[in-house]
């Protein structure tokens, strides 16, 4: 298992996290730990589309570059983090403590950035 794979496995072990992946801004999957419930290609395409919309909207609004975006829905959600060269996507269920997971995502993001820069 790659270093990124180990980081994904670690965050997926947190309560309320149902999966995670790293993909390029183009939507191509780099590494996935989603299991059977989600299609990695579909989720990375969704994250890529959201990323493009956010990048343009935040810039146009004068906010600058976004760093993290939270999607919240009735049955769960996802956190999309811009890592520079790639996106880190964490999927949660409705029981997730989003504040705690957000801290975990921040820490995992730093670990993934180190792996990407080494690779």
Residue 63 domain-assigned?
A: yes
Model confidence at 119, pLDDT cuts 50, 70, 90, reads very low
Work out the average pLDDT over 61-90. Answer: 94
Residue 102 lies in a domain: yes
pLDDT in tens, 70-80: 999 999 999 99
83-95 burial string, b = 16+ CB within 10 Å, else e? beebbbbbbbeee
Question: How many CB atoms within 10 Å of residue 13?
Answer: 10
The answer to whether residue 59 sits within a structural domain is yes
Classify residue 3: in a domain, yes or no.
no
Domain assignment of residue 87, yes or no? yes
Integer Cα distance of 59 and 96 in angstroms: 30
Classified as helix, coil or strand, 3 is: helix
Look up residue 88 and give its two tokens: 């880190």
pLDDT at 28: 96
Q: CA–CA separation, 110 vs 106, rounded Å?
A: 7
CB contact at 8 A, 9 and 31: no
Per-residue confidence at 116, pLDDT binned at 50, 70, 90? confident
Which whole number is the average pLDDT over 96-103? 94
Which CATH number does the domain housing residue 33 bear? 3.30.450.30
Give me the domain span that covers residue 89.
8-118
Quote the number of domains for the chain.
1
Count of Cβ atoms closer than 10 Å to residue 30 Cβ:
22
- Domain assignment present for 84: yes
Does the pLDDT at position 14 exceed 80?
Answer: yes
């Amino acid at each position: 298992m790659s270093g990124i794979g180990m980081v994904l496995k670690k965050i997926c072990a947190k309560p309320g996290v149902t999966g995670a992946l790293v993909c390029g801004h183009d939507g191509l999957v780099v590494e996935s730990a989603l299991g059977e419930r989600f299609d990695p290609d579909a989720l990375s395409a969704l994250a890529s589309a959201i990323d493009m919309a956010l990048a343009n909207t935040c810039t146009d609004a004068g906010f600058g570059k976004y760093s993290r975006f939270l999607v919240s829905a009735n049955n769960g959600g996802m956190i999309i983090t811009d890592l520079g060269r790639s996106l880190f996507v964490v999927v949660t269920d409705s029981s997730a403590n989003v504040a705690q997971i957000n801290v975990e995502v921040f820490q995992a993001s730093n670990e993934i950035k180190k792996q990407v820069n080494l690779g």
